[in-house]
Amino acid sequence: GTPTLCHDKQFEIDIDPFADSDVFIFNGTSGDIIRLTMTDMISGAPAPYLGLYDPDGDLIDQWYVQDKGYHRDYNLTKTGRYTIVVWEYADNQAVTYKLGFNCISGECFDPCPIFEDVPPGYWAEEFIYKIYEAGITGGCSQDPLLYCPEDPVSRDQMAVFLLSSKYGSDYT
């Protein structure tokens, strides 16, 4: 699937010479200011192009990496789903690049999910992240970080939750 970008991400990506492009999406809010940074990783290699499209699919800007890096700031004028398309300069050549994606001002983007198995909009998402931020839970797996929201909770696990909530996150 198409990756959804979230707060201050940087990607290092090779464009497959036969796929021709990479697509990223993010939810932006009118008034947010974002910075897109594109860095060509291999000197002398074909330069990647970048296109930024608004929620209506209209092209906002298009540019390619010159030399070893470039960035542009954008004041978002609409609220909705934006699209970034990165494609190769020359047909059938692999391109390696870094794409930086940063919030300069405003809310900018959706928050990055902490747990891989708690999707945005999940009915208990807000509660899960509150107890995580309070140090009451660390999830069910560390690598990758999972919460296992559909797994049953044992009595001993519940005891740890309750005591951590009463005595703080350092309680063991």
Q: What is the pLDDT of residues 35-58, one digit of tens each?
A: 887 775 555 555 677 889 999 999
- Tokens 């296992």 correspond to 148
Mean pLDDT over 120-133 rounds to 83
Element (H, E) at 120: none
Mean pLDDT over 3-31 rounds to 64
What is this structure's pTM?
A: 0.58
| pLDDT value, residue 53 | 93
More confident residue, 170 or 148: 148
3-class SS letters over 3-28: CECECCEEEEEEECCCCCEEEEEEEE
Q: Compute the distance between CA of residue 95 and CA of residue 71 in angstroms, rounded to an integer.
A: 18
